[in-house]
Structure 1
Amino acid sequence: MEDKPSSTALVEYSTLDFEPKHQFEAISQAVAPICQLKKPYSVDVGFSVKFSAFDLCGIDIIDWESEPTTSERSSKLVRKSDLDNWAILFVRDGFRYDELNDCLVKAKTGDLMLASYAQSWKSHWEGGNLVTVGLDRDKFSWLAPCLDEVNRSVLNGALTGLLRTFISTLVDEAHKITGDQKQVLSRSFSDLLAASLDPTADNLHNASTTLNAGRLTMAREFIRKNLARPELNVDFICKSLGMSRRTLYNAFEEHGGVAKYIKTARLQACYKALSHETDYRFISTIAYQHGFTNMSLFSRQFKDLYGFSPREAHDHASAHEVAPSSRSPTLLDHLCKSKNYGDHGTG
């Protein structure tokens, strides 16, 4: 029997493993090489911080959940520290503001900020979920001028949304990443970062596979969240996501087109609701709530896909009447399908 590839090992940490009166001291010691934490009020009652981390071939990804705190990386700490890498700070949920050379940089939920550990700074975190993506200075030396130029600023380029989607996917699916996939994903991230910071023709070409997969993931997520909207169509998606029609069509080419994908996603969502034994809504209610406005058309399309009517699904759902998997390929699936990456300056 062939052995399955082993998944990425996650390093997990939680201050809840310590007594409440020692929790702040524990996290302070853990982050001491990076920064100093300012002791908040009433830490004797506990200070909750937890994270999970993994390495992606020179890219350290850490998913933090933390209570509010203030931190400082002083000039003295910079001088004695051997940590001079960059980090992308992704505020998944919360608010953070940094002080650097008398400038105040604010980052809210959804923002990406670039930080260099070669410089001193002060930061206040309002609490929530933060992802830090550590970039090894040797590995990313070829991109150093671009990284230093945007230090302590919120990234707002045209590809920022795709970079955010990529990071979110890495964090959410970290437990699925195998050792064989790490190099592919590391290269993909490097290509996308370069295209985001310096969108030259070469950088965009190198990142084309990653860009296409990221656009597909972002569009799929948007469709999933907006199935109930009757106006969900190509124009609505393009306007909402800032994509061209051609880009969107290309992203869904392997799925038979955008319209077909939307229709199938709606039908799968309806089937899931109709076959759920505790869902007592009317069939028409379920259909309308998933964007269908014509019941005759809905019934015909449903039967074409599943071979039985919505009424049969509602009344006679059984273990063997299972809908086709509603799981579409993720960004990681697309990127790891092919390892045909040419060598270029990503080291």
Structure 2
Amino acid sequence: MAELRPPDTIPSNHFHTAAVGSGDDAFWAWRDAVSPLFDVALPSPDAVDTFAAEVRSYHPGPILFASVAASAQHFRRSPGTIARNGINHYLVQLYRQGGFHGDANGRSVAVGPGDVSVLDMALPLQTRAQTFENISLVIPRRMLAPLLASPDAVHGTVLRANSGAGALLRDHLTTLYTQAPDLRADEADALMQGTVALMGACIGPTADAREMAADDIRAATLVGIKGFIEGNLGAPSLNAERVCGRFGVSRPTLYRLFEPYGGFMRYIQERRLRRCFTELTSPHASGQRIADIAQRWGFGNEATFSRAFRRQFDVSPRELRHAAARSGGRPGHAPSHLGGASRWNTDSLIESWLMSLGDS
């Protein structure tokens, strides 16, 4: 189902087989969901009894970006599947748990935890996957191929967890996925371009990829700083001096990186406001005073917090809490009957995203 989140963030979707049942129902729902990419089968008939899968996906422009966790299964992309849907994108996957082994158009492939694999969806593939969790990006060929020295020869490439390129991509993709729920639509394009450039530099660079490396390093630094901010939002010591010391950048560089967000401190304030938004819509925090929630996330004055919150979300903290309580809402989700709720996008579905991938 599509998730309700603040309006300026990229579209997202959450799919879980538990929502459609178990056993056969769960597996067939999963099979239908991934059919534009793969034909799937279970390793044994009785595996259907315990089958489960979950996908949390984001759609920043032409790229599909997802966290996937699923039971053991076999994946197959045959010439018939390729001809049927016309998808010829690249699939880049970071395996956080589990892995797979198989054949990528005649090339033997084995992937384990921490490895990054590159698959060309224009070519046949057969794999046997263990129970796994990965971060997957489906990338249009037109974006990545120009950055590769041999764009038609990367099918089955594996960047090992203990390699420099593999570690760089692993850290970048992990941080990027952590930030994805709050990634704004107006920043997604540049960040995805930087991510693709980093992939080109790691997988098999052309001169163009190397020329883009400096810009990509800046993008990767920004992602790292955002991750640090996210982990320290409640700390009074979160300031420019601390961040500069942590990442070895000057104040002017830090301020330039955050210019598109209205400035460094403005970005921190917005992130703190979003944390408050999540807690105010959570039933678990219903007994906490608004002032205490605000103080926990760095706002020492409740009146100042309320004004900033209304500017950000077009609703006061108290109004949001009351509306969430009436609707039984979920943390971080705007109640559908709340004034201004049309600002939350609920239209994107995973099926339409997968179909849109046909534009390579």
> Could you say which TM-score interval applies, normalised by the shorter chain?
0.5 to 0.7
Superposed displacement of residue 323, structure 1: 11
RMSD of aligned Cα (Å)? 3.6
One-letter amino acid of the structure 2 residue matched with residue 30 of structure 1: A
- Determine the structure 2 residue equivalent to 1:13: 15
Q: How far apart, CA to CA, are the structure 1 residues paired with 2:225 and 2:9?
A: 27
**Kept in 2: contact 1:91–1:110 (CA 8 A):** yes
Task: Flag the structure with larger Rg.
Answer: 1
- Determine the structure 1 residue equivalent to 2:62: 58
Q: How far apart, CA to CA, are the structure 1 residues paired with 2:295 and 2:135?
A: 41
- Determine the structure 2 residue equivalent to 1:114: 118
- Pairs within 5 Å for 1:150-189: 150-155=154-159, 158-189=164-195
Percent identity, aligned pairs only? 18
Deviation per CA, 1:241-287: give whole Å up to 9, x if none: xxxxxxxx9951338xxxxxxxxxxxxxxxxxxxxxxxxxxxxxxxx
One-letter amino acid of the structure 1 residue matched with residue 113 of structure 2: T
CA separation of 1:87 and 1:108: change in aligned 2, threshold 3 A: same
One-letter amino acid of the structure 2 residue matched with residue 70 of structure 1: H
Single out whichever of 76-85 and 178-187 deviates more from structure 2.
Answer: 76-85
CA separation of 1:320 and 1:106: change in aligned 2, threshold 3 A: closer
Q: How far apart, CA to CA, are the structure 2 residues paired with 1:320 and 1:8?
A: 26
Q: How far apart, CA to CA, are the structure 2 residues paired with 1:87 and 1:217?
A: 22
Superposed displacement of residue 102, structure 1: 4.2
Q: How far apart, CA to CA, are the structure 1 residues paired with 2:188 and 2:77?
A: 31
TM-score, length-scaled by structure 1 = 0.59
Superposed displacement of residue 27, structure 1: 0.6
**Kept in 1: contact 2:74–2:127 (CA 8 A):** yes
One-letter amino acid of the structure 1 residue matched with residue 51 of structure 2: F
Q: How far apart, CA to CA, are the structure 2 residues paired with 1:204 and 1:219?
A: 23
TM-score, length-scaled by structure 2 = 0.57
| Matched pairs, number | 238
**SS in structure 2 at match of 1:207:** helix
Q: 1:254 pairs with 236, 250, 255, which one? A: 250
- Determine the structure 1 residue equivalent to 2:284: none
- Pairs within 5 Å for 1:1-347: 6-21=8-23, 22-39=25-42, 40-143=44-147, 145-155=149-159, 158-199=164-205, 203-212=209-218, 214=220, 251-254=247-250
CA separation of 1:210 and 1:140: change in aligned 2, threshold 3 A: closer
**Kept in 2: contact 1:87–1:132 (CA 8 A):** yes
Superposed displacement of residue 36, structure 1: 1.4
Identify which of structures 1 and 2 has the higher relative contact order when contacts are C-alpha pairs closer than 8 Å and 6+ apart.
2
CA separation of 1:74 and 1:205: change in aligned 2, threshold 3 A: closer
One-letter amino acid of the structure 2 residue matched with residue 204 of structure 1: R
**Kept in 1: contact 2:191–2:219 (CA 8 A):** no
Superposed displacement of residue 56, structure 1: 2.0
CA separation of 1:200 and 1:146: change in aligned 2, threshold 3 A: closer
**SS in structure 2 at match of 1:196:** helix
Deviation per CA, 1:170-219: give whole Å up to 9, x if none: 21111110111111212211221222234466533422243255368779
CA separation of 1:146 and 1:218: change in aligned 2, threshold 3 A: farther
Q: How far apart, CA to CA, are the structure 2 residues paired with 1:139 and 1:215?
A: 22
Deviation per CA, 1:126-153: give whole Å up to 9, x if none: 1121121111123334236533222112
Deviation per CA, 1:109-133: give whole Å up to 9, x if none: 1111110111111111111211211
Single out whichever of 200-209 and 64-73 deviates more from structure 2.
Answer: 200-209
CA separation of 1:250 and 1:193: change in aligned 2, threshold 3 A: farther
